[in-house]
Amino acid sequence: MTPTDFAPIAGDSSPSRALLTRLFVTATSGRMKSLVRLVFATVLVLSNARFAHATTVIEKNLDALCAEADQVFVGTVISVQSAWTEAQHRDIETTVTFGDLVALLGVDTTEVSLQFSGGRVGDVIEYVPGMPQFNVGERFVIFARGGGSASALVGFHQGFFRVDGNGTSETVAVRSYERIGTLADGRSVIGDSASATTNVPLEDFLNDVRRRLAQRQGAQP
């Protein structure tokens, strides 16, 4: 099985909106709402039967995340807002705003807002397979990159790590993904579902990131 058996596959950047497999659902009430949920579940089952991985991307290790990020920080989600991107109501975009920041790279403000394709506006939901989901109050280590991709994160869904606990007991959930193919240049292709999660002390993780960022900055002319 080769990577071309899956759709879409992203190269060094995250998938563009045009490449994404998306699903729109209109939420109603009562009996119709139950029907919508049933249809939605059926569509997902059929979609999964056709595509083992709805979104496939190039695997990014921590070196790659640090090398490709424009911004690296620890932040708490303080706002999640979705809106139509144009008057024709064809695409939804969600803006996630982070506060209580610990800046590691490229951040000199008290808040950072990132944009992601998909979300909910009124009764309409635009679902993008594999797109990271954020809720107010959650805290993450973020590796972000500009450029107008569907996901503001490096590696689509790979550039965020949930922080759990508090104080000296804080940990980071480091996810592993099943490798589902290999490109001609040897790079691995992964899907959008985590196959395993390992909890690492937050300070140890951040020290590792700081070391890699320092190496990156030292290598720049």
Is residue 68 left, alpha or beta, with left meaning phi > 0 and alpha meaning psi from -120 to 50?
alpha
Rounded mean pLDDT of 151-156? 94
pLDDT at 118 over 80: yes
Rounded mean pLDDT of 117-143? 93
* Structural domain that includes position 183: 3-219
pLDDT tens-digit series, residues 61-114: 999 999 999 999 999 999 999 999 888 888 999 999 999 999 999 999 999 999
Q: 36 exposed, middle or buried (CB, 10 Å; 0-12, 13-18, 19+)?
A: middle
CB atoms within 10 A of CB 111: 13
pLDDT tens-digit series, residues 161-205: 999 998 778 999 999 988 888 888 888 888 877 888 999 999 999
Report angle CA 81, 85, 89 to the nearest 5 degrees. 105
pLDDT of the residue at 56? 81
Number of domains in the chain: 1
Higher pLDDT, 216 or 100: 100
**Where residue 219 falls among pLDDT bands split at 50, 70, 90?**
low
pLDDT tens-digit series, residues 16-40: 544 454 555 555 444 444 433 434 4
Higher pLDDT, 100 or 51: 100
**Side chain identity, residue 89:** H
Rounded mean pLDDT of 53-64? 83
pLDDT of the residue at 27? 55
pLDDT tens-digit series, residues 133-150: 999 999 999 999 987 788
